[in-house]
Structure 1
């Protein structure tokens, strides 16, 4: 395997960090790598807010379900879809289409993954924070996000102070197919995968979590997630048509 593949296959979410800051050269390398991500039609429809003010960071952590690592990581970045920039420079641009939400989300996700992979290649670690969407109105006000900008996810970065096992992924045969979507999923593969995930959680939590992958999905998808999100997106100028 190449070093790049080894880094990507060795990914673990890190939620405990030392107090060591990142160097300027590390920050520059991560930012440059993020910007090198592919961009649909070269729209570059993303913005990244690096939260360095301790007071603002504390408020962001509070809005993100008080996840301690949002406050303790050396770096916390908020990745946003951004069409405000386009409207500023080209006021006649037509925005508000659902497709533009997809473009902004995809562009920004690619940037985020590039950033984390670059950080991991430098011996750093991180974890994505979807909880930035828990209180989008308050977060947007705190970070002074104008219309056309929506927070999609956060990213903690820092020097790892833990060494967790990689979380087992779905078997390739359940995710990859050829020419067409498979007619029936492989029941035996899913049964074995559920066993692996249960073992992972039991080992990771010292027996405190007994959960399969399908059990986790049943729990998560049994309730509506963030029912306010469509209203927020429209308030920021997305999904109007």
Structure 2
């Protein structure tokens, strides 16, 4: 096992960072690493907005559910699905591309491209001794986020990435058994899923019991059922369509 894989397998979310801004060189290295990710048909349908302004970071923190590590980190990146530049290139080339830009397929391409770039950025940052935390809470109030970041139509802020030098050392959360996510030739039958979920519940419950000295003993299925019983961000389809994505 090489050093890169060892570091990836030790990933954990960091929610407390040293008061140490990333240098411009570190930011550039992370962004260049993000750009090296695969992109569907070379479309490169994403943008990254780096937020240094402490006032903007604090506002984003509030919109994301008062997560203070959105405001207090070495640097905050926002990954966006972006077809705006493609709209511009359509004008430049005199090409009719609106139908393609509004398609659900190109929406998926933009989201996937952004996610691939973000994970490259995360691995790069961790390889440099930093920690990261993805921030999906930005999607709580996307109108507000879009206003702060001045994103035009055909650009959707998808999630944030808080990066910095760790000021904590949390444990690694146990993931699903490999057999629960890796299927060979055909999708697993339900009885295999049930078996794996039971085993995973035991592992997760033991993890929380040890981490909290017995104060928590949650199971994974219990956590997920509780979360999914309260649908969130149900405005998303309307927002996505309003921004010119997924209308066809």
Alignment partner, residue 177 of structure 2: 171
Runs of 4 or more consecutive aligned structure 1 residues displaced over 6 Å after TM superposition: none
Deviation of 1:28 (Å): 1.9
Unaligned 5+ residue runs, structure 1? none
Deviation of 1:38 (Å): 0.3
**Does the 8 Å contact 2:14/2:132 carry over to 1?**
yes
Correspondence 1:37 to 2:21: no
Matches for 1:49-198 after TM superposition, within 5 Å? 49-91=49-91, 92-94=96-98, 95-186=101-192, 187-198=194-205
Number of aligned positions between the proteins: 241
Structure 2 SS opposite 1:13: coil
Deviation of 1:191 (Å): 1.6
CA 51–87 in structure 1, closer or farther in 2 if over 3 Å, else same: same
Provide TM-score, normalisation by structure 1: 0.96
Deviation of 1:119 (Å): 0.4
Tell me the distance in 1 between the aligned counterparts of 2:70 and 2:42: 31
Q: Kindly indicate which of the two structures has a greater share of residues assigned to helix.
A: 2
Tell me the distance in 2 between the aligned counterparts of 1:6 and 1:182: 28
Structure 2 SS opposite 1:209: coil
Tell me the distance in 1 between the aligned counterparts of 2:74 and 2:97: 38
Tell me the distance in 1 between the aligned counterparts of 2:151 and 2:213: 42
Unaligned 5+ residue runs, structure 2? none
Deviation of 1:29 (Å): 1.5
Deviation of 1:93 (Å): 2.0
Tell me the distance in 1 between the aligned counterparts of 2:108 and 2:214: 40
Deviation of 1:52 (Å): 0.7
Matches for 1:198-237 after TM superposition, within 5 Å? 198-237=205-244
Deviation of 1:165 (Å): 1.1
RMSD over aligned Cα atoms: 1.2
